[in-house]
Chain A
Amino acid sequence: MRIHGIKFDDTKNEGTGSVTKMERRKFLKMGFAIAGVFAGGKILGLTSIVGSARASDGIEVEAYPYSPHYSMVVRQAICIDCERCVDACKKTNHVPDYGYRTRILTKKYEGKWDKAVEFIPVLCNHCNNPPCVRGCPTKATYKDPITGIVRMNSKKCIGCKTCILACPYDARYFCEEKRAIDKCDFCWDERLSKGEKLTACAAACPTGARTFGNIADPDDIVYKLVHQAEEVVWVLRPEDNTKPNVFYMKGTIGSVERILKGTKYRYFDPTKI
């Protein structure tokens, strides 16, 4: 049911009379995918509403509030649970044995699914509306005003653990060595601030299940993966209205390559509306 190579911009308006039921269904389905109806909510609406304009019902055109607006897309169908990301994270960020900044969850399907097991990497979602930042009494955890990364200022942490309970993604733990809460900072301290382009986990992943980049840049692969029209993209716990910056899709090994070649996916481009 996927749509290949239709150049919508070049098509003439033929009126609705000549549209067959099948085409109408395809069109609606695509619209739903953009609007994220399959995911149980608006995908684009899950990111910040700052600077947003409503293009049409169900589609919000975004101006992402940070630049670079670091985000990650996890293609969970191609995660093989090798845990190299977890190891790379521990090594890069000096995570103690009793803690973790990222982990891989296992989901077992029963019934007629095409895969019996799926692995879901989880980490800090660097929410645009982070409950941990609101909960912290001393602003020890804060939203970086440039990159949108939720970071820690360890010396201010009083260790009240409110942020641990506020986080709906189990992304935080108390690190004895730092005498503060420790969490994923998209490797800002250890890699990005030193000029690296990828987080340790994304760089270590052998299948490319974690794609890291700048969602504010339409040429970035993360932007393209989130805004493509054909595969459903979702976030974890949308009901908490945290507006996360870690997106999930089933995905395949070829997803990124196809987007780069422009062969398969079409993606939603707000500038052309």
Chain B
Amino acid sequence: MSEVEISISEKWGYNGLAAIKEASTAYKMAMGFFALLFLVGLAFGLHGFFVGYRHVYGVTREIAWGLLISTYIFCVVTSTGLCIVSSFGHVFGNVAFMPIAKRAVFMSIVFLVGGFCIIFFDLENPFRLFIWNVVSPNLRSNMWWMGTLYGAYMVFMMLEYYCLLNQNHSVSRIMGFLGLAVGIAAHSNLGGIFGMLHGRPFWYGPYLPIYFIFSAAMSGGCAILFFTTLGARFNPEVMNETMQRAVKAITLLTIYFIVVIMFFTLWKIITGLVSEGKAPVIESFLYGKYAVNFWFFEVFLGMILPLALLIISKGRKYNLIMWVTGIQMIGIFFMRYDIVIPGQMVPVYHSLGVVEASHLLSYTPSWHEIMISIYGVSFVALLYLAGERLFNSHQLQKHEIVPEGAYVCPGCGAIHYMKEGETIEEAMKRHHGGW
């Protein structure tokens, strides 16, 4: 092994804080804007934390999980999705997907931390979590598993990212596989939290754990398309041949998963209509209080429009892809909202026929909840913008700084080192296994 000594920053493609300073004024202003939103949202959160959430949140005794939980779910679904999409390439060796891996893993961690930022302000006693989750675990509780598995997921993803930066692809692959396995366990378990509350018919059943995984894959495809095409606007150099191939492959994949989610949604509606417990919720989707959420945001913006436009884009019209996936992310946000809130709208004593429970419950997010959601999303946006600059658009080094004895892999775009007497093709096979 004759690896050439190079500095960590070169190896990682880490451009340092100077890269941010060199950014255009508009870029810096965008970062400043999100930093401001982040701080303002944080201030709202801390205010709520100290005066008591009861006074400032819109959640009630009956609808105890509100906008914060749905935004948290939006973030962690996207995180798992990015992990799933990244794994196609650098875990399972599908060369076409490899160039997006670094950005996807980075954003996966960012979304997860963004989700944690939000749920911190939903838990009434977040600090007790760290003590009692360890000291007094309830292994039958999905909530316990959620904390534990997402914790493990974050560790694996960080290790994976570190190995990706270090170009240690064999370890990164193992970490990626473990991250994927734990991520899928964590995420289906998140669906299980809802799916195992058998007092809530709209949620109860095996549907949500399965739906969450496919929905995550769709979100992941959508998110990486958005972040890649947006990244190419900042640094057009990124959109090289391998990246063009990756975008095409992911567009196809996202189209596929949108169709899967349409199928899921269709059957949710059809089966729900014949269930006494689910029908009031489904009816509110079809022509009631949640009709706009469902038809416009969830179905039109989240499924039909992106499906049509992604097909039209053929994976080549990058501006179109950027706009449509950006819009789809708004639709996906409403998809999450439409799981969490309507699931609680039927009062538990509704079937008893009493006056107090004769109407469906309603919920309106308060300003505090909206600002705390914005705080989490701004965190994601800020770190995305910072990451693009700090890590050289998540590409590896430019050609001129490829060290001696190394080459830019035509498959994954990473820098590979050749052993003595090895050709590029042999080295590529060694790095990417027999795939």
Contacts and interface: CB of A to CB of B under 8 A. Distances in A.
Interface of A: 98-99, 103, 105-108, 120, 122, 131, 134-140, 155-162, 164-170, 172-174, 176, 179-180, 236-237, 240-242
8 contacts: A103-B356, A131-B197, A137-B147, A138-B132, A138-B137, A161-B65, A162-B193, A165-B64
B54 interface: yes
Given A137-B133, A156-B132, A106 B355 contact: yes
B143 A136 contact: yes
Nearest to A173: B61
Given A106-B355, A137-B143, A138-B133, A179 B197 contact: no
A157 B61 contact: no
A257 to B, nearest CB: 28
B423 interface: no
Contacts of B65: 161, 165
A140 B62 CA distance: 20
Interface in B142-180: 142-144, 146-147
B68 to A, nearest CB: 11
A105 B144 CA distance: 34
Interface in B12-40: none
A137 B199 contact: no
A18 to B, nearest CB: 44
Nearest to B353: A107
Interface in B102-144: 122-126, 128-129, 132-133, 136-138, 140-144
A138 B199 contact: no
B132 A140 contact: yes
A162 B147 CA distance: 13
A234 B198 CA distance: 20
A107 B347 contact: no
Contact of A135 (B124, B126, B143, B355): B143
A165 B128 contact: no
A134 B356 CA distance: 28
Interface in B48-98: 52, 54, 61-62, 64-65
A201 B193 CA distance: 34
A167 B199 contact: yes
B357 interface: yes
B267 interface: no
B1 interface: no
Contacts of B137: 137-139
A131 B126 CA distance: 22
Nearest to B349: A105
Contacts of A155: 128
Given A137-B141, A162-B193, 9 more contacts: A107-B355, A131-B197, A137-B133, A138-B128, A156-B128, A159-B124, A162-B142, A172-B61, A174-B64
Contact of B125 (A162, A170, A179): A179
**Which of B122, B128, B200 neighbours the largest number of chain A CB atoms within 10 Å of its CB?**
B128
B347 A136 contact: no
A180 B124 CA distance: 8
Contact of A168 (B126, B144, B199, B355): B199
B136 A139 contact: yes
Nearest to B144: A137
**Which of B54, B64, B65, B144 neighbours the largest number of chain A CB atoms within 10 Å of its CB?**
B64
Given A134-B140, A166-B197, A105 B355 contact: yes
Nearest to B69: A161
Interface in B225-276: none
A103 B62 CA distance: 14
B125 A136 contact: no
A135 B142 contact: yes
Given A105-B355, A131-B199, A164-B61, A159 B125 contact: yes
Given A158-B124, A170-B347, A106 B356 contact: yes
A139 B138 CA distance: 6
B348 interface: yes
A156 B136 contact: yes
Given A137-B141, A165-B197, A176 B128 contact: no
B352 interface: yes
Contacts of B132: 137-140, 156, 158
A59 B123 CA distance: 45
Given A105-B356, A168-B199, A158 B126 contact: yes
A165 B349 contact: no
Given A167-B199, A168-B199, A138 B136 contact: yes
B362 interface: no
Nearest to B141: A137
Given A170-B347, A173-B61, A138 B144 contact: yes
A120 B54 contact: no
B4 interface: no
B260 to A, nearest CB: 28
**Which of A120, A134, A173 neighbours the largest number of chain B CB atoms within 10 Å of its CB?**
A134
B141 A107 contact: no
**Closest CB pairs A-B (n = 8):** A159-B124, A168-B199, A137-B144, A138-B132, A137-B143, A105-B354, A161-B64, A164-B64
Contacts of B138: 134, 136-139
**Which of B140, B143, B347 neighbours the largest number of chain A CB atoms within 10 Å of its CB?**
B143
A174 B124 contact: yes
A106 B64 contact: no
Contacts of A138: 128-129, 132-133, 136-138, 144
B351 interface: yes
Nearest to B119: A160
Nearest to A159: B124
Contact of B352 (A103, A107, A158): A107
A130 to B, nearest CB: 11
B198 A158 contact: no
